[in-house]
Structure 1
Amino acid sequence: MTVPVEPFAVGAPARGPGALRLAVCAATVAACVPYLSIKIAWLSGSTVGWNDAAAARDSVLYVGNAITLGMDALAVLVACAFTFPWGRRVPAWLVLPPIWIATGLLAPIALAVPLGTLIQSVVSAEPVTGAGNALQGWVYGVVYTGFTLQAIGLLTAFVLYARRRWPEVFTVRTADVPQGPTRSLQMLLARGAAVPAAVCAAVHFFWAFGGTAGLPHDLAAARNAPQQVLDGVWGLLALGGAAGLLALAGRARRPARFVLPLAAAWVGAGAMFAWSLYGLIVTLAAADALGADAAPASGLVALGGTLTGLVIALTGAFLLAEHGGARRAVQSARPMASSTP
């Protein structure tokens, strides 16, 4: 979730990174290298990894490759910001949105692809990548292995960074977070977001268990186990994100630690927003190519997920910003009270 201001008190003064943080940063950057190398090669005109050389030169793919290259390069920069002292001076509103979106994109892959690949290899003789694919199979192995390692590395680096910059997040109890003047609005938004989140999750569960209604026809024809498991994971994360926000806004006594529902809302909202936005782009591209044959239902689900994830994120951001303001007010009042005769 994006946070426009410092939500909690800043921790200890910045100092050099320890061995653990340096190792996590190095491993994360190394995990980005294969993907960056493939993208640079393709943007340079190479057709390495392609079965269809003509498809590799599609202008739409060129733009997509440039965008995804920039996103992975940004992941390297974010990993360094989480490791070195200068990252502590970056405003929260600038450092949190990239890792929120990265969490939303990478966490479902890290959770679903290994399990889905295992299921596919056990229950089917068909390759995981499917038959007649324009890309060679090793490309998927390199890319998704890299994404899984990036997810582990970035999230580990972020937790280590957040524990130093916002230590109270990891110690405060949910019930002890004060209720500010916008709590009623937070509850309204949390309850309102839970409904479309549940609907979107139900649709993804339907696709996870083999349903294809509402999917673009080309995607429905090429479904495999990893994609179905990914839909199931997406549905679980959507429900977790909505439940996490409800616990935060309602100041639930369980779970006790504030960081637990915050993490659920963070990952769930990020997955809904990032993957739904990606699905919306795919659906619009399919509609442009296939016209009325492009299954608009998937577009409505993607639009609903994008908006719901954004609402959950912004509501959580309001909650954190309000709590941060209350903490600063209390801290500024203490010196005045101690100086009173």
Structure 2
Amino acid sequence: MTVSAHPLTGRTRAAHDGPGRLRLAVCAATIAACVPYLTIKIAWLSGSTVGWNDAAAAEDSALYVGNAITMGMDAVAVLVALAFTFRWGRRIPAWLVLTPIWIAVGLLAPIVLAVPLGTLLQVAFSSEPLTAGDDAIQGWVYGMVYTGFTLQGLGLLTAFVLYARNRWPRVFSVLTADVPKGATHPLQVLLARAATVPAAVFAAVHLFWAFGGTAGLRGDEIADRNAPQQLADGVWGVLALAGAAALAVIVRRASRPGRFVVALAAAWAGSAGTFTWSLYGLLLMLSRPGMLAGNPSAGAGLTALAGLLAGLLMGVTGAFLLAETQSARPTASRTP
């Protein structure tokens, strides 16, 4: 009995290569998590003061620009989720996919790791309110926004893993010691070693704040400290150390058996979290000069600068590494 093999027809191939139910479900859940944030940002940009206790504060021009930028970033998250799900996303250049998800992981990973647990600790062991500050924004807004961010982070991370396993399967199977060394490997070693110093400074300060230290903080920041904020400081410190350590392991090509994807994930999250939140902190200080007034030591600003430098060095090292790893793949693996 002879069994003949027939080539896939266009319709069959489309069905074979199309997104599965899991990827579609993850995409839909991620987009749904973005909708409340996008809705309230659109309302604020349209002049609404829903969710505000202080209507005058809502009219700040700097806040208007910030709302427009953050709304745009959340809209990009929707596009990224779609790109991770449908076939056209695999035709996008790698850098155009990896850059926004690197930034997204950096912004959302600390929230996913710190906010839910920090909120539980605050509710269980403290009588202080969950939200701090001047109460210009109503409490339900914080709850909605950070719940959405947590769900977005989980959704984008899941979608990215499914997408990456499909587009770059070798990354998930190769050992770190077997990753080829390219022409820029000496530069990668130099940059990775240089990143450890500012990363250690950034981590040490944030871990100091996480365990109750207040040196380098302004008076209003000290008064508004709560469990989620301290836990977030701890997460930033751990991410910076993990990112620098994982990157050092990768560039050394340690002989111990270890999956490349594990070290890459730690370096990815650590570099992204350190860079993005440091940049955000510096931009916040520059947009509101008064934030520096009560802080003669400028500890927060110097810490953010150290984190910005560490994250940038780690990110550039990772970019060189991934570019060379991609170009070093066997030719046969590039054949559709």
TM-score over 0.5 for the pair: yes
Q: Supply the AA of the counterpart residue of 2:301.
A: G
Q: Supply the AA of the counterpart residue of 2:281.
A: G
Q: Supply the AA of the counterpart residue of 2:196.
A: A
Cα pair distance change 1:221/1:285, threshold 3 Å: farther
Aligned equivalents of 1:290, 1:23: Cα separation in 2: 43
Q: For residues 96-135 of structure 1, what are the structure 2 equivalents within 5 Å?
A: 96-130=98-132, 132-135=134-137
Q: For residues 256-271 of structure 1, what are the structure 2 equivalents within 5 Å?
A: 256-271=258-273
List gaps (5 residues or longer) in structure 1: 1-11, 333-341
What secondary structure is seen at the aligned counterpart in 2 of 1:83?
coil
The count of aligned residue pairs is 319
- Tell me if 1:304 matches 2:306: yes
In the other structure, the counterpart of 1:336 is none
Does the 8 A contact of 2:128 with 2:226 survive in 1? no
Compute the TM-score of the two structures, normalised by the length of structure 2. 0.91
* Deviation string, structure 1 residues 211-260 (Cα, Å, up to 9, x no partner): 12212433232111101000001101101100110111011234610000
What secondary structure is seen at the aligned counterpart in 2 of 1:180?
coil
Does the 8 A contact of 2:195 with 2:309 survive in 1? no
Aligned equivalents of 1:118, 1:270: Cα separation in 2: 26
Structure number with greater CO (CA < 8 Å, separation at least 6) is 1
In the other structure, the counterpart of 2:7 is none
Q: 2:232 aligns with which of 223, 226, 230?
A: 230
Does the 8 A contact of 2:199 with 2:307 survive in 1? yes
- Tell me if 1:143 matches 2:145: yes
Cα pair distance change 1:127/1:306, threshold 3 Å: same
Aligned equivalents of 1:200, 1:291: Cα separation in 2: 19
Aligned equivalents of 2:184, 2:217: Cα separation in 1: 39
Q: For residues 10-21 of structure 1, what are the structure 2 equivalents within 5 Å?
A: 15-21=17-23
State the shift of 1:131 in Å.
6.3
* Deviation string, structure 1 residues 159-186 (Cα, Å, up to 9, x no partner): 0000011010000111111222332222
* Range moving further from structure 2, 206-215 or 142-151: 206-215
Aligned equivalents of 1:259, 1:251: Cα separation in 2: 13
* Range moving further from structure 2, 172-181 or 104-113: 172-181
Aligned equivalents of 1:223, 1:290: Cα separation in 2: 16
State the shift of 1:107 in Å.
0.5
- Tell me if 1:289 matches 2:286: no
Q: For residues 1-341 of structure 1, what are the structure 2 equivalents within 5 Å?
A: 15-130=17-132, 132-254=134-256, 256-286=258-288, 288-289=289-290, 292-295=293-296, 296-327=298-329, 330-331=330-331
Does the 8 A contact of 2:285 with 2:291 survive in 1? no
* Range moving further from structure 2, 203-212 or 294-303: 294-303
Compute the TM-score of the two structures, normalised by the length of structure 1. 0.89
Does the 8 A contact of 2:110 with 2:232 survive in 1? yes
Q: Supply the AA of the counterpart residue of 2:331.
A: Q
State the shift of 1:292 in Å.
4.2
Does the 8 A contact of 1:283 with 1:294 survive in 2? no
Aligned equivalents of 1:326, 1:75: Cα separation in 2: 30
State the shift of 1:323 in Å.
2.5
* Range moving further from structure 2, 183-192 or 296-305: 183-192
Cα pair distance change 1:32/1:26, threshold 3 Å: same
Q: Alignment RMSD, CA only?
A: 1.9
Aligned equivalents of 1:312, 1:238: Cα separation in 2: 10
What secondary structure is seen at the aligned counterpart in 1 of 2:17?
coil
